[in-house]
């Protein structure tokens, strides 16, 4: 007698045959044709937030390149919002976290998916405040919402290390993490073109790019005057209120400091400091004792004393008024617990932790306390908004101990005029060398073309160009190129459920999200962007705030096949589809098999019930 199991198996045999036939047809269809990731087969779609043409000449065009290439690897584009920096801030680093989401949501919910913008960094950049977990808005600028304990540990080690070799190793480790995990995709580092007379020399492009230039070293063999052309209008009135490149150009020459950059920018040298002693304490704190050059004088001939330095720093440490320098020196100010005067020419900075770059702390411009303090007491902090030479302030706010003094500042006409500080040559460190130029003047230039014309007419001697052109200058003039400390980045929202956390990918893992971000990076044609949009004025991006690791880390190559393979690793693979020529027949067969299967099952069930 046959077992019950055998009988039941025979009852299911017709159904199993149908399943086998059905599977065979499906397999045949899949083998016949499949669609790889691309415009006809999108894995998901994103929204792009980017600076518009008025904010940046090239970024809006780069957004078009992304919109052309990302669909080729299966990533669709819903919206490209070209807008202002302020509008971008509302969706990113200034987003009101906590009111609804508790995090920066995707673009469709008021936040962002990816943002295409320009980020600037300086010679002392440390990564602090941009990618560490403690700096997610509103506590910092980590709008990416990148969280990695290893990154936090390496950053802490980097910030507390004083040995240059070890610091470099930590910095490279930070670069490597950001390069591998891609919360920010570095597209390129633009170059700046400076056009100038051959007679101009002594400038340092690295320092000029970061507003730390040494104008006392500049020369013009055609004479003792230099006219500098600016594409940005002047708006600042003192070192406490500088808002443009033109503002920082003259304030850098007027305001002296304890320390300044060397001509070759990598190191620091004293300006009015002498006998500086740095001592680390057992409790993790640090003291910096600074002796001052007794020959240092303000441009009116008065002596520079310890009280002037202390007063200048305390003005900026006072948060009851705003200042552009409070942002520039924010990290340094957070370290200062107090400043103590030891005598007229010696003072001590007491820091709450060990800091790797004490000279950075000592590089703030110095005001004359005897002239500024009475003005603050009488008129309040509003004086820092007043134009030098006006009734209340005259030139008291710009009486400093730098190599030059301010003779004229006209914001309406965008003009300034500098002449040498007559007491500068008394300083011990300068060996009595006076600034080479007797007059340094500004001119506002509304366009690069106007600047080039005025340069060749002899109206100006030096200009920074803005519109990604390398002019063909006549004999006697030169173009100088520098790599900017600027990155055009694609910042990614690490809380995005697909390419951020990966929770909505087919496999739902963080590793799948990393693979998607790598795919995006490989889909960016960096060389084409530099050639076609920046007209050759750029270098492929590696890490968001570093361009010095090309020996260790290479830019992501443009490779659409490789990009698609990374998305396939995230389980967004080629789809199995029905070839068009058998599509209608296949659907008819499926319907017939479904009907036959239903009839057989119902008949079997009915016979069983009769038994």
Looking at residue 12, its pLDDT comes to 46
Cβ–Cβ < 8 Å for 493, 110: no
Helix axes 164-181, 149-159, angle to 10 degrees: 160
Cβ–Cβ < 8 Å for 501, 494: yes
> pLDDT: is 589 or 225 the higher one?
225
Checking if the pLDDT of 572 tops 70, the result is yes
Tell me which residue of 495, 568, 562 sits closest to 524, measured CA to CA: 562
pLDDT tens readout for residues 308-336: 999 999 887 776 666 666 566 767 778 89
Checking if the pLDDT of 468 tops 50, the result is yes
Instruction: Give the whole-angstrom CA distance, residue 245 versus residue 229.
Output: 11
Give the mean model confidence (pLDDT) for residues 190-209: 92
> pLDDT: is 444 or 14 the higher one?
444
Looking at residue 29, its pLDDT comes to 40
Cα distances (Å, whole numbers) of residue 534 to 23, 190, 531: 54, 7, 6
Instruction: Give the whole-angstrom CA distance, residue 285 versus residue 152.
Output: 21
pLDDT tens readout for residues 358-379: 888 899 999 999 999 999 999 9
Cα distances (Å, whole numbers) of residue 495 to 79, 90, 133, 183, 485: 19, 17, 13, 10, 28
Looking at residue 33, its pLDDT comes to 52
H runs (alpha helix) in 33-163: 59-69, 85-91, 149-159
Checking if the pLDDT of 5 tops 70, the result is no
Give the mean model confidence (pLDDT) for residues 89-115: 89
pLDDT tens readout for residues 162-192: 787 888 888 889 999 999 999 999 999 999 9
Map tokens 């040498």 to a residue.
Answer: 420
DSSP of 308-324, one letter per residue?
HHHHHHHHHH-TTS--H
Give the mean model confidence (pLDDT) for residues 212-237: 92
pLDDT tens readout for residues 233-254: 999 898 888 888 889 899 999 9
Q: For the beta carbon of residue 185, count every other beta carbon within 10 angstroms.
A: 24
Which residues face 538 on adjacent strands? 190
Which residues face 83 on adjacent strands? 51
Checking if the pLDDT of 598 tops 70, the result is no
Looking at residue 105, its pLDDT comes to 94
> pLDDT: is 521 or 168 the higher one?
521
Cβ–Cβ < 8 Å for 305, 357: no
Which residues face 196 on adjacent strands? 462, 478
pLDDT tens readout for residues 11-28: 444 544 444 444 444 444
């Amino acid at each position: 007698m046959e077992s019950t199991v055998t009988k039941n198996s025979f009852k299911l045999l017709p159904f199993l045959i149908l399943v086998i036939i059905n599977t065979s047809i499906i397999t045949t269809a899949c083998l016949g044709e499949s669609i790889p990731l691309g415009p006809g087969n999108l894995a998901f779609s994103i929204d792009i937030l980017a600076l518009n043409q008025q904010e940046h000449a090239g970024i809006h065009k780069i957004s078009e390149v992304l919109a052309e290439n990302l669909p080729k690897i299966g990533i669709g584009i819903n919206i490209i919002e070209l807008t202002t920096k302020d509008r971008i801030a509302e969706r990113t680093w200034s987003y009101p976290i906590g009111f609804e989401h508790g995090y920066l949501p995707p673009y469709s919910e008021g936040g962002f998916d990816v943002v295409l913008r320009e980020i600037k960094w300086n010679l002392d950049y440390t990564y602090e405040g941009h990618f560490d977990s403690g700096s997610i808005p509103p506590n910092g600028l980590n709008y990416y919402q990148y969280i990695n304990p290893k990154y936090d540990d390496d950053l802490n080690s980097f910030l507390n290390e004083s040995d240059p070799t070890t610091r470099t190793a930590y910095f490279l480790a930070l670069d490597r993490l950001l390069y591998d995990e891609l919360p920010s995709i570095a597209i390129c580092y633009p170059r700046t073109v400076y056009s100038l007379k051959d007679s101009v020399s002594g400038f340092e492009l690295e320092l000029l790019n970061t507003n730390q230039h040494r104008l006392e070293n500049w020369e013009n063999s055609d004479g003792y005057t230099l006219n500098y052309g600016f594409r940005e209008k002047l708006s600042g009135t003192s070192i406490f209120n500088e808002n443009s490149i033109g503002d920082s150009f003259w304030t850098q020459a007027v305001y002296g400091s304890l320390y300044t950059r060397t001509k070759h920018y990598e190191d620091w040298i004293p300006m009015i400091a002498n006998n500086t002693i740095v001592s680390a304490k057992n409790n993790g704190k640090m003291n910096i004792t600074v002796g001052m050059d007794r020959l240092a004088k303000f441009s009116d001939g008065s002596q520079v004393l310890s009280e002037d330095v202390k007063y200048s720093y305390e003005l900026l440490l006072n948060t009851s008024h705003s200042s552009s320098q409070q942002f520039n020196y924010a990290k340094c100010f957070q370290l200062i617990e107090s400043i103590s005067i030891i005598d007229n020419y010696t003072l001590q900075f007491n820091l709450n932790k060990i800091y790797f770059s004490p000279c950075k702390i000592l590089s703030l411009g110095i005001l004359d306390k005897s002239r500024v303090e009475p003005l603050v007491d009488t008129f309040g902090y509003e004086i820092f908004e007043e134009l030098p030479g006006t009734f209340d302030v005259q030139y008291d706010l710009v009486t400093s101990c730098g190599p030059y003094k301010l003779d004229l500042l006209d914001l309406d006409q965008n003009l300034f005029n500098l002449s040498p500080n007559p007491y500068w040559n008394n300083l011990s460190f300068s060996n009595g060398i006076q600034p080479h130029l007797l007059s340094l003047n500004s001119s506002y230039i509304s366009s690069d073309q106007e600047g080039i014309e005025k340069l060749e007419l002899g109206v100006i001697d030096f200009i920074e160009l803005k519109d990604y052109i390398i002019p063909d200058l006549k004999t006697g003039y030169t173009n100088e190129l520098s790599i900017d400390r600027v990155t055009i980045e694609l910042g990614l929202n690490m809380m995005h459920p697909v390419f951020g956390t990966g929770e909505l990918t087919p496999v739902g893992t963080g590793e799948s999200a990393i693979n998607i971000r790598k795919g995006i990076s490989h889909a960016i044609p960096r060389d084409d962007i530099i050639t076609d949009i920046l007209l050759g004025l750029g270098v492929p991006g590696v890490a968001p705030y570093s361009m010095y690791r090309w020996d260790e880390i290479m830019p992501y190559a443009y490779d659409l096949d490789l990009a698609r393979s990374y998305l396939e690793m995230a389980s967004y693979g080629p789809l199995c589809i029905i070839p068009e020529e058998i599509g209608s027949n296949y659907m008819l067969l499926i319907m017939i098999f479904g009907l036959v299967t239903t009839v057989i099952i119902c008949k079997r069930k009915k016979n069983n019930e009769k038994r």
